[in-house]
Structure 1
Amino acid sequence: MTLYNVDLYIYDLSQGLAKTLGSLIFRKPVAGVWHTGVVVYGTEYFFGTQGIQFIQPGGTILGHTYRIHNMGKTEVPKELFEEYLRDLADDKFRYDKYHLLDHNCNTFSNEICLFLLNKHIPDYITNLPQEFKQSPLGNFIKPLLDEI
């Protein structure tokens, strides 16, 4: 039985700005605005406006990772994982289903980690969009984002 390491690559979309403005927006300290990708089988997988994508680990245009969180090891063979990804790309994670707050890279990373490990990604990542939507700024911006 072969085991494959699964890492969650975490990027700060705000490039540090959330640390400064987070308290104003969220009414509590916020370390970042998170983009995530899952690294397994030597490849980083993520979801965005172009659908499911894969790259060399750390190769996004977002620069360096904020943190690499080891999620564990999986027994799922790469071939089965790739078949699963094709199914997701044809339905649940098509490019036209992307939404910045409601169905994004973190939703995808969580789905992938559930499939590979039966484990969720950290709550501070998955809860942030809901916290933003409940903020005054989020209430104002959400209708605009829904139009995109």
Structure 2
Amino acid sequence: MDRAETVTVFNDLCIMAPAALADAPVTWQVLDDHQVVGTYTAAGQSVTARLVFNDDHELVDFISEDRLRASTDGKIFVAQRWSTPVGEYRDVDGRRIATGGEGRWHAPAPEGEFTYLEFLIDDITYNIGSRPRAGAAR
């Protein structure tokens, strides 16, 4: 599960907190004008994903072969292609953010590709923990 969760953390950084990637333990390889491959290393795990961008430089897909999925009997975990296409962006408090997308497994036949998660962000609050409390010493 450590490997699977490392993919999830990398994905969350890319979609939810892209500014944090500047200081994250990621190495990048540019494939072309719309794609890069990132390798993220944390807690002894290294995972790789291909990030796809549109002409406006917005992330439109995150694709990794390193995510693990439980077998149907739940006894083992197997690597399976996993992606999170992002289809909606909007300005929220002066920031352009991804506000909609989905999580997809790319299973072999006969199951095939399927969406198991849809997300929609309708509000966001930043730096909650870093704000001084009322009456707190500075």
Same fold per superposition (TM over 0.5): no
Higher helix share: 1
Higher strand share: 2
- Relative contact order (C-alpha < 8 Å, sep 6+): which is higher? 1
Larger Rg: 2
> What's the TM-score once normalised by structure 2's chain length?
0.25
> What's the TM-score once normalised by structure 1's chain length?
0.24
